[in-house]
Amino acid sequence: MLTTEKETNALDLDWVRSQFPSLFQTINGTPAVFLDGPGGTQVPQRVIDAISDYLKRNNANTGGAYATSRNTDAMIAGARSSMADFLGCDSDEIIFGANMTALTFAISRSIGRELKSGDEIVLTHLDHDANISPWRALEERGVTIRMAEIHEADCTLDMDDLRSKITEHTKLVAVGYASNAVGTINDVKEIVHLAHEHGALAYVDAVHYAPHGPIEVRALDCDFLVCSTYKFFGPHMGVLYGKREHLQRLQPYKVRANTNAVPNRWEWGTLNHECIAGITACVEYLADLGRHMNSSVSTRREALLAAFEAIQRHERGLMENLIRGLAGIPGLKLYGISDPKRFNHRCPTIAVRIKGHTPLELSAKLGERGIFTWDGNYYALNLTERLDVEKDGGFLRIGLAHYNTAEEVDRLLSTLREIAM
């Protein structure tokens, strides 16, 4: 039986879906179903328009004594303000970059200047490699990398093991807010507290969590947090939050002509201005969703929180239906948290394997039917190796976003049952 949207939650899906032109495509005569959000979400029309309008009207470099350059300066300042509202910080604590990976390498190189042989960094087996390899690169300086273990049965962090590995030698703890492969949401606030108890910095990869829940860096007390706007309905850009005192104290690698002022000292060369214009548009989309759900909100931050309240409620309903349906498919194994009582500790990102079918075969067959999913390791290489699935294709990953519908979930389940038989 199809689950109605009213049963799932009160999100106005007609309004939401009307914002995304790509959702109305067809593949082989059937409507496309976008379950590939963990690799990059679709974008609202306003993001497309903002990028196009910038290139049409204000395409210029910064710092010039003429109108389009000044407009570009103002646009970048507006985008910083938008992301400050999104993350709950100040505008001068926002850094733009090509992507999360590049930003993390930049920070790791800068922090590495202060480290010496015998210093330690704690990482986890649950993370995307972009929050592992940039820190492992510091081993060439004599830094010791310690890896926190996981509980393989439900793909959650072993917090006791993590605690045991944070010591007086630990200089930084890097952790993902949520797993991009299996959806686990980590207890980031507690991990930041453990790091600070030992005088270590805390670096949070929030790329995968950002489209699914609100982020409040002040409450987390993290030293750095990084995300990518293409994962929450925006353009391909990376955004870094850093506590002001760290951004001022640490020494970036940069060209001489670049300013020493924060935040610009961390941004090298000419930025992707047109995509930065799209960042404000994607944040404003989410804020408008919040205003649409709750007309009493007065600030953009309040509107964003209202949006994520509705998003989480809607995605939770879809996820419950999906996981319940997957349990009835012959030969299917789900990786990660499957107990509904613990769904607050996971995102609606589901990794599965079906006996007798490789993840690539499954993804290809679904794709032919207009259902878009991912196969592979998604750069969560430590996890796929630990779970012994890397050698034969990794996982099939199903990623729900708030623009997905109950009918799309039912269509996926029906198609997977057909393929598995």
Q: Write out pLDDT tens, residues 291-343.
A: 999 999 999 999 999 999 999 999 999 999 999 999 999 999 999 999 999 99
pLDDT above 70 coverage of the chain, percent = 98
Cβ atoms < 10 Å from Cβ of 213:
16
DSSP string, 17-80: HHT-GGGG-EETTEE-EE-BGGG-----HHHHHHHHHHHHH----TT-SSHHHHHHHHHHHHHH
d(CA 278, CA 52) in angstroms, rounded, equals 9
pLDDT of residue 355: 96
The structure tokens 């273990």 sit at 149
Tokens representing 394 are 């990794």
Whether residue 10 has pLDDT greater than 90: no
Whether residue 201 has pLDDT greater than 60: yes
Question: CB of 115 within 8 A of CB of 138?
Answer: yes
**Can you tell me the mean pLDDT for 26-34?**
95
pLDDT band, very low/low/confident/very high, at 4 (cuts 50, 70, 90): very low
pLDDT above 90 coverage of the chain, percent = 95
**Can you tell me the mean pLDDT for 251-280?**
94
Instruction: With CA atoms as reference, report the closest residue to 414 among 344, 349, 345, 328.
Output: 328
pLDDT band, very low/low/confident/very high, at 257 (cuts 50, 70, 90): confident
DSSP string, 395-419: EEEEE--TT--HHHHHHHHHHHHHH
pLDDT of residue 293: 95
The structure tokens 């391909």 sit at 236
Tokens representing 129 are 């490699």
Q: Which residues pair with 148 in a beta bridge?
A: 124
Question: CB of 125 within 8 A of CB of 386?
Answer: yes
Residue 159, SS3 per DSSP: helix
**Can you tell me the mean pLDDT for 358-381?**
97
Residue 168, SS3 per DSSP: coil
d(CA 73, CA 50) in angstroms, rounded, equals 15
**Can you tell me the mean pLDDT for 392-421?**
97
CB-based contacts of 122, cutoff 8 Å, min separation 6: 146, 147, 148, 162, 165, 166, 170, 172, 173, 174, 195, 200
235 class by beta-carbon count within 10 Å (0-12 exposed, 13-18 middle, 19+ buried): buried
Whether residue 1 has pLDDT greater than 50: no
pTM: 0.96
pLDDT of residue 9: 47
**Can you tell me the mean pLDDT for 118-137?**
98
pLDDT band, very low/low/confident/very high, at 71 (cuts 50, 70, 90): very high
Whether residue 156 has pLDDT greater than 80: yes
Whether residue 6 has pLDDT greater than 60: no
DSSP string, 170-187: EEEEEEESB-TTT-BBP-
d(CA 193, CA 201) in angstroms, rounded, equals 10
Buried residues in 9-35 as b, exposed as e (16+ CB within 10 A) = bebebeebbebbeebeeeeeeeebbbb
Whether residue 2 has pLDDT greater than 80: no
pLDDT of residue 8: 37
